[in-house]
């Protein structure tokens, strides 16, 4: 093979290689274009389906809203009114009055001697919780502390010399606990021998229990917000 033939062969190989590369590039572009168009079509179909689902859900919401409006317009029976009143009491959204007790708690007036722990002579959240648990066990139907209604979800915790309840309300002693229930039963539960009042008074904590014919418990003032709960369906 002479030099001229070798050049001619290299030229032919280069030409064929170039044609193959051009064909491959065009074929790849067509595939990418086809995939892009297919993807757009799929997304468009998904959007249309979501629009249909939204229309369906909106129609269901409108139906439920109309049913609720019709139910609300129907006069409540005495039984439903009674159930609604009970629900409001449990939710704490209504003001209540009735016989009960008023318990006043305050820090100790005893002079602390050198070396003694001053925390033993001041009220803590655990002291309040013991009083509250005793009142609840004695049948209290509604309780408030310094005018703040207590619910099942109400927390009582110390923050320095004060307590916080219902998340945002900071209270300082004296703490006035109002409770509706049988006055005699509530008083006896607190003043029993070796009970919570006697234990607190041992450290000089001031405890006063008064029976009242009329105790007013205010409605729960903060809004009730659920962050994690959903209605099961």
Read off the CATH number of the domain in which 172 is found.
3.30.70.1880
Over residues 44-53, the mean pLDDT reads 74
**Higher-confidence position of 145 and 120:** 145
Closest-CA residue to 101 (of 212, 218, 216): 212
CA–CA dist 27, 167 (Å, integer): 67
> Closest Cα partner for 131 from 80, 179, 71, 63?
179
Q: Do 40 and 115 belong together in one domain?
A: no
**Domain match, 66 and 130 both:** no
pTM score, whole prediction: 0.61
pLDDT at 228: 57
- Comparing 22 with 37, the larger pLDDT belongs to 22
**Are 154 and 206 part of one and the same domain?**
yes
Residue 144 phi, psi dihedral angles, 5° rounding = -140, 155
82 falls within a domain: no
The tally of domains found in the chain comes to: 2
Under DSSP, the state recorded for 115 is: T
Is residue 100 located within the same domain as residue 193? yes
Q: Is residue 108 part of a domain?
A: yes
Whether 111 maps to a domain, the answer reads: yes
95: pLDDT strictly greater than 80: yes
| Same domain membership, residue 64 and residue 177 | no
- Same domain for 135 and 187? yes
pLDDT exceeds 80 at position 76? no
User: How many CB atoms sit inside 10 A of residue 198's CB?
Assistant: 13
Residues 102 and 176 in one domain: yes
What is the sign of the dihedral through the CA atoms of 161, 164, 168 and 171?
negative
Structure tokens at 200: 């607190």
14 lies in a domain?
yes
Q: What percent of the chain has pLDDT over 70?
A: 67
In-domain check, residue 229: no
Residues 6+ apart with CB under 8 A from 116: none
- Residue 162 binned pLDDT confidence (cut-offs 50, 70, 90): confident
Question: For the residues 159-166, what does the mean pLDDT come to?
Answer: 79
Q: Is residue 84 part of a domain?
A: no
**C-alpha closest to that of 127 among 232, 206, 64:** 206
Residues 115 and 189 in one domain: yes
Tell me 219's DSSP state.
P
More confident residue, 137 or 57: 137
Burial of 67 (0-12, 13-18, 19+ CB in 10 A): exposed
**Do 28 and 127 belong together in one domain?**
no
In a shared domain, residues 195 and 99: yes
195 with 98, same domain? yes
Round to whole Å and give the CA distance between 60 and 142: 40
Strand 162-165 versus strand 156-159 pairing type: antiparallel
Select from 139, 133, 95, 109 the least CA-distant residue to 205: 109
| Mean pLDDT, the chain, integer | 78
Q: Is residue 2 part of a domain?
A: no
83 within a domain of the structure (yes/no): no
Cα three-residue angle 105-107-110, rounded to 5 degrees: 130
Domain that residue 49 falls in: 7-71
Q: Comparing 4-8, 43-47, 51-55, 193-197, which segment has the lowest mean pLDDT?
A: 4-8
Residues 34 and 148 in one domain: no
pLDDT at 140: 94
pLDDT class of 52 with cuts at 50, 70, 90: confident
């Amino acid at each position: 093979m002479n030099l001229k033939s070798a050049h001619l062969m290299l030229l032919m190989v280069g030409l064929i290689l170039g044609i193959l590369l051009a064909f491959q590039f065009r074929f790849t572009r067509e595939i990418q274009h086809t995939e892009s168009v297919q993807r757009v079509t799929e997304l468009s179909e998904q959007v249309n389906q979501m629009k249909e689902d939204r229309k369906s859900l909106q129609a269901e919401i409108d139906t439920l809203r109309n049913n609720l409006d019709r139910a609300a317009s129907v006069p409540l029976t005495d039984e439903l009114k009674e159930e609604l009143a009970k629900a409001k009491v449990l939710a704490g959204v209504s003001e209540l009055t009735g016989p009960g007790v008023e318990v006043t708690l305050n820090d100790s007036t005893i002079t602390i001697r050198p070396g003694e722990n001053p925390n033993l002579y001041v009220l803590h959240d655990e002291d309040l919780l013991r009083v509250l648990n005793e009142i609840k066990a004695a049948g209290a139907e509604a309780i408030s502390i310094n005018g703040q209604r207590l619910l099942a979800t109400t927390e009582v915790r110390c923050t320095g010399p004060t307590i916080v309840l219902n998340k945002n309300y900071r209270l300082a002693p004296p703490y006035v606990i109002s409770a509706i229930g049988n006055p005699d039963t509530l008083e006896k539960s607190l003043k029993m021998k070796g009970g919570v009042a006697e234990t607190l008074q041992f450290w000089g904590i001031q405890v006063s229990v008064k029976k009242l014919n009329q105790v007013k418990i205010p409605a729960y003032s903060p809004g009730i917000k659920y962050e994690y709960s959903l209605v099961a369906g």
